[in-house]
């Protein structure tokens, strides 16, 4: 062989030795480091790492800060070796970075949601805080309102297993699957909550979270007389009620316009024109303020009834004023929840178990029920001479009475099946004792509740449908008459 070949061979051997040497030194170095196993090497881009390279709080409001937060956490969490031991079982804490980077929260730092986890001990007490950025009552408002005790992740995460946390009285994702094996909840994909079959995650037979066995519709707009309701109809039965109601109104108007209006006898078109002229003309005139006074004193405070009899005024007010108050509160709640959906006032008004709403609703309900009972006793037992009872009067009393009764029953069943703790439940000072009474019966209330709900809803729908036909028509007729005749005393 020539000199060149030997030179090349030497060159090759030198390179090999150098490579081996560097490999060996690297392995020794990392091996030595593995003895104490730091998370990251102390050198970054050739410079000694500074405390603040990791320990400065990233500004997660910026994209750079969000990515810094993500890479800090992912340094451990994207590895297969990232596990926790639960009851001697290994649970993977691995997070797939692609899920996050391709998902909706790509530009959100980990600690923006997982606020209390970047610390020692490394465990979160409060979980991910969705409400820091997402007001709960946006487009999903009507679905969210009855689900205030359900945590966001229980619906919006892909994990299918839910449980009821007795300490906080919230429905949350379960840390075990249906076989009792612990699971890691690190799948960051979001569930498609628009799927039809989505609700059965909780609303199914044998659920442990106290959800009704059937999916119930949102409260219909017909329910707005007492309840904070949505602007949807809710189901075919409510459509039927609305159509019957509209029919009744039309029949009544037809009957009214058979008479003469300001001298005009024949032409319906002219009659309607004269009537509406009269109406607008009166409202937009200086008669407006006497009209307001009539509304306050005669329609709301019923002074003409007080003039007749204190007892009758009292019974009527017991029924009428709470209904009026609840109606105004429902309308107010609706506006607050749409205009100020992030405000704490909206939450106070919508939360059925919250102190104010629970107390006011139960108070109004029991006052109405007492009024109905006293009125019924008046009509059926005492029968003063001036009272003539027709069956139509009794139907009206019956409808309202049964409505309120079923309402309290449904409330008691709801409180029982959702296992509301006493310190929250006692604000519902009627509903909570009812739930205690119901608890003595060995019935599966999650199965019964849908029937109670529908019973109450159907009676309500019948009430609305019956309004233009029976005595209840007076809630429109009487104010109208008072306003038309306010000048005559």
Partner 1 sequence: MVKLEDWLQKAKRLTLRALFCGLFVTALLNTQSPLAATAPSEEGGWFVNMGHFAASAHGTFSCEDCHGNMNQGKTMHPDSNAPTFLHADANRLYDYKRCKACHKPSYEQYLSGAHANALKKEQKEPSGKYDKLPENKKAPTCGSCHSAHYAKAHLSRVEMGRQTVSVCAACHPAQAATYLENYHGKAAVNLGDKNAAFCTDCHGAHRCVSLKDKEAALNACRRCHPEAKEGFAQVVIHPTTQDPSEMNNEKRSHVALIRVVTVLMAILAILIVGFFYGHSFVWILRELHERLRKHK
Contact residues toward partner 1 (CB under 8 A) are 33, 35-39, 42, 51-52, 54-58, 111, 115-116, 118-122, 303-304, 306-307, 309-311, 313-314, 318, 359, 363, 366-367, 370, 374, 377, 381-382
Q: Pick the closer one to partner 1 by CB: 317 or 330.
A: 317
- d(C-alpha 172, C-alpha 186), whole Å: 15
Query: Number of C-alpha atoms within 13 angstroms, CB side, residue 453?
Result: 19
Separation between Cα atoms, residue 387 and residue 331, nearest integer Å: 35
What b-and-e string marks burial along 451-470, b requiring 16 or more CB atoms within 10 Å of the CB? Answer: ebbbbbbbbbbbbbbbbbbb
Residue 115 CA to residue 109 CA, distance in Å, equals 10
What DSSP state is assigned to residue 299? I
Residue 90 backbone zone (phi > 0: left; psi -120 to 50: alpha; other: beta): beta
Name residue, tokens 């139960």: 362
In the complex, the smallest distance separating the C-beta of residue 98 from partner 1, rounded to whole angstroms, is 25
- CB of 372 closer than 8 Å to CB of 463: no
Q: DSSP secondary-structure letter at 353?
A: T
Nearer residue to partner 1 within complex by CB, 116 or 265: 116
Compare residues 58 and 407 and give the one whose CB is closer to partner 1. Answer: 58
Nearer to partner 1, 8 or 126 (CB): 126
Nearest to partner 1 of 38, 236 (CB atom): 38
Length of the chain: 489
Select from 434, 451, 298, 311 the least CA-distant residue to 384: 311
Is 340 or 384 the residue whose CB approaches partner 1 more closely? 384
Question: At its nearest, how many Å lie between partner 1 and the CB of residue 224?
Answer: 25
- Beta carbon of residue 44, minimum distance to partner 1 (angstroms, whole number): 13
H/E stretch holding 35 reads helix 3-36
SS3 sequence, 441-452?
Answer: CCCCHHHHHHHH
Nearer to partner 1, 118 or 216 (CB): 118
Q: Are 478 and 399 in contact (CB under 8 A)?
A: no
The least distance separating partner 1 from the CB of residue 277, rounded to whole angstroms, comes to 33
Structure tokens at 121: 């001990």
Shortest Å distance, C-beta 381 to partner 1: 7
Two tokens, residue 81: 């070796």
Q: Which residue, 143 or 377, has its beta carbon nearer to partner 1?
A: 377
Determine the Cα–Cα distance for residues 236 and 240; give it in Å rounded to an integer. Answer: 6
Beta carbon of residue 25, minimum distance to partner 1 (angstroms, whole number): 19
- 17 versus 40: smaller Cβ distance to partner 1: 40
CB 91 within 8 A of CB 85: yes
Please give the backbone phi and psi of residue 43, each rounded to the nearest 5 degrees, phi first.
-105, 135
């Amino acid at each position: 062989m020539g000199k060149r070949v030997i030179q090349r061979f030497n060159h090759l051997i030198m390179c090999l030795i150098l490579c081996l040497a560097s490999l060996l030194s690297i392995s020794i170095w990392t091996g030595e480091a593995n003895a104490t196993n730091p998370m990251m090497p102390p050198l970054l881009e050739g410079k000694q790492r500074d405390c603040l390279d990791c320990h400065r709080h990233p500004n997660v409001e910026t994209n750079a800060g969000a990515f810094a937060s993500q890479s800090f956490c992912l340094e451990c969490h994207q590895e297969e070796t990232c596990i926790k031991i639960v009851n001697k079982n290994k649970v993977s804490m691995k997070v797939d970075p692609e899920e996050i980077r391709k998902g909706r929260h790509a530009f959100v730092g980990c600690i923006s949601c997982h606020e209390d986890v970047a610390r020692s001990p490394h465990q979160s007490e409060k979980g991910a805080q969705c409400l820091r950025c997402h007001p709960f009552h946006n487009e999903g408002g009507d679905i969210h309102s009855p689900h205030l005790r359900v945590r966001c992740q229980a619906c919006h995460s892909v994990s299918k297993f839910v449980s009821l946390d007795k300490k906080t009285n919230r429905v949350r994702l379960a840390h075990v699957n249906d076989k009792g094996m612990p699971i890691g909840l690190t799948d960051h994909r979001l569930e498609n909550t628009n799927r039809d079959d989505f609700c059965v995650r909780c609303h199914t037979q044998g659920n442990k979270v106290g959800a009704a066995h059937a999916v119930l519709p949102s409260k219909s707009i017909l329910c707005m007389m007492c309840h904070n309701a949505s602007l949807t109809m809710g189901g075919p039965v409510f459509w039927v009620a609305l159509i019957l109601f509209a029919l009744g109104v039309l029949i009544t108007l037809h009957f009214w316009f058979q008479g003469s209006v300001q001298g005009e006898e024949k032409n319906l078109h002219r009659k309607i024109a004269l009537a509406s002229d009269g109406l607008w003309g009166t409202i937009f005139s200086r008669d407006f303020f006497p009209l307001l006074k009539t509304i306050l004193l005669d329609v709301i405070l019923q002074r003409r009834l007080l003039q007749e009899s204190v007892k009758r005024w009292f019974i009527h007010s017991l029924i009428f004023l709470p209904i009026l108050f609840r109606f105004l509160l429902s309308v107010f709640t609706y506006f607050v929840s749409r205009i100020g959906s992030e405000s704490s006032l909206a939450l106070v008004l919508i939360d059925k178990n919250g102190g104010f709403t629970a107390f006011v609703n139960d108070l109004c309900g029991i006052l109405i029920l007492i009024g109905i009972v006293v009125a019924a006793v008046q009509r059926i037992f005492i029968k003063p001479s001036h009272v003539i009872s027709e069956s139509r009067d009794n139907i009206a009393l019956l409808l309202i009475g049964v409505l309120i009764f079923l309402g309290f029953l449904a409330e008691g069943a709801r409180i029982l099946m959702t296992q509301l703790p006493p310190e929250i439940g006692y604000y519902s000072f009627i509903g909570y004792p009812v739930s205690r009474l119901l608890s003595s019966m060995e019935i599966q209330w999650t199965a019964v509740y849908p029937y109670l709900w529908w019973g109450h809803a159907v009676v309500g729908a019948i009430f609305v449908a019956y309004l233009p036909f029976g005595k209840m028509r007076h809630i429109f007729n009487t104010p109208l008459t008072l306003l038309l005749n306010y000048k005559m005393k």
